């Protein structure tokens, strides 16, 4: 295997292992729209998206996504919603279940664990809140990994695990996610604290500490990933 081919293969293996998938198998695949964990090698264009390789100025996958550089370290792309990625930035991300389907407790356990599986490996997770029909996460991707890749991995891996756990089939998440860069002038701790109070405002708990599907890097210690095993 030559070096050019070996590097993407190594990165795919790293991603699979980070999200609890072990080494890539025949079930591991790129599905063309920014999601993977499921048969067949990625195309050369998909590899560029997956690994952030800047071999082209504009990337289009299945006619659904357009990505282009808007600065030395910034990329813009869109599906239905516009997205902006910049190296070293922290993001507030929300993704929602399809048709706002309600997640049972055991599914939320798995989703929280999946969100934290690659913490301190591919990205630094500041906090996560798994609500009954959506997920909030504040995260800072490490330099060599793209936010779109990380979130797609979380969604695909958690969907696979929840479907297997609940003996269901079909799509778990809405295809699109909302993300926003947290600006340098914003108070990150204040943003995270407000986010973690969502269950309280929704009447699901009396305090963030009482809501079992919240994780805060500055309070809760090592991520709880037992639900993945």
Measured distance CA(195)–CA(208) in Å, rounded: 10
Q: What is the reported pLDDT for 61?
A: 39
- 202 token code pair: 């929704």
Q: What is the reported pLDDT for 185?
A: 87
Q: What is the reported pLDDT for 82?
A: 52
- In this structure, which CATH number among 3.30.43.10, 3.30.70.1290, 3.40.50.1100, 3.90.1150.10 belongs to the domain 3-228? 3.30.70.1290
Q: What is the reported pLDDT for 156?
A: 96
Q: What is the reported pLDDT for 99?
A: 96
- pLDDT per residue over 69-98, tens digit each? 444 454 444 555 455 678 889 999 999 999
13-18, long-range: CB within 8 Å, 24+ apart, which pairs?
Answer: 14/122, 15/118, 15/122, 15/149, 15/153, 18/117, 18/118, 18/121, 18/122, 18/153
CA angle 156, 228, 146 (to 5 degrees): 40
Residue 20 backbone class (left: φ over 0; alpha: ψ -120 to 50; beta: rest) = left
Each domain of the chain, given as residue ranges in start order, spans: 3-228
Question: What is the number of other CB atoms lying within 10 angstroms of the CB of residue 160?
Answer: 17
Residues of the chain with pLDDT under 50: 1, 4-5, 22-72, 74-77, 81
Indicate the SS3 state at residue 97.
Answer: strand
Measured distance CA(67)–CA(74) in Å, rounded: 10
Q: What is the reported pLDDT for 215?
A: 97
């Amino acid at each position: 295997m030559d070096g050019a081919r070996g590097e993407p293969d190594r990165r795919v293996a790293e991603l699979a292992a980070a999200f609890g998938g072990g080494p890539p198998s025949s079930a591991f695949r790129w599905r063309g729209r920014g999601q993977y964990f499921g048969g067949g090698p990625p195309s050369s264009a998909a590899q560029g998206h997956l690994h952030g390789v800047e071999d082209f100025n504009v990337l289009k996958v299945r006619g659904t996504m357009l990505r282009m550089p808007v600065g030395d370290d910034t990329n813009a792309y869109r599906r239905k919603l516009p997205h902006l990625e910049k190296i070293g930035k922290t993001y507030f991300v929300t993704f929602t279940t399809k048709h706002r389907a309600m997640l049972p407790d055991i599914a939320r356990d798995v989703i929280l664990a999946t969100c934290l599986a690659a913490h301190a490996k591919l990205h630094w997770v500041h906090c996560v809140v798994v609500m009954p029909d959506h997920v909030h996460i504040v995260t800072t991707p490490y330099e060599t990994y793209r936010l779109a890749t990380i979130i797609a991995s979380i969604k695909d891996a958690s969907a696979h695990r929840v479907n297997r756990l609940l003996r269901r089939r079909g799509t778990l998440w809405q295809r699109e996610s909302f993300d926003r860069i947290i600006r340098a002038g914003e108070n990150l701790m204040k943003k995270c604290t407000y986010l973690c109070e969502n269950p309280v405002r929704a009447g699901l708990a009396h305090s963030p500490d009482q809501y079992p599907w919240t994780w805060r890097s500055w309070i809760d210690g090592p991520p709880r990933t037992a639900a993945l095993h």
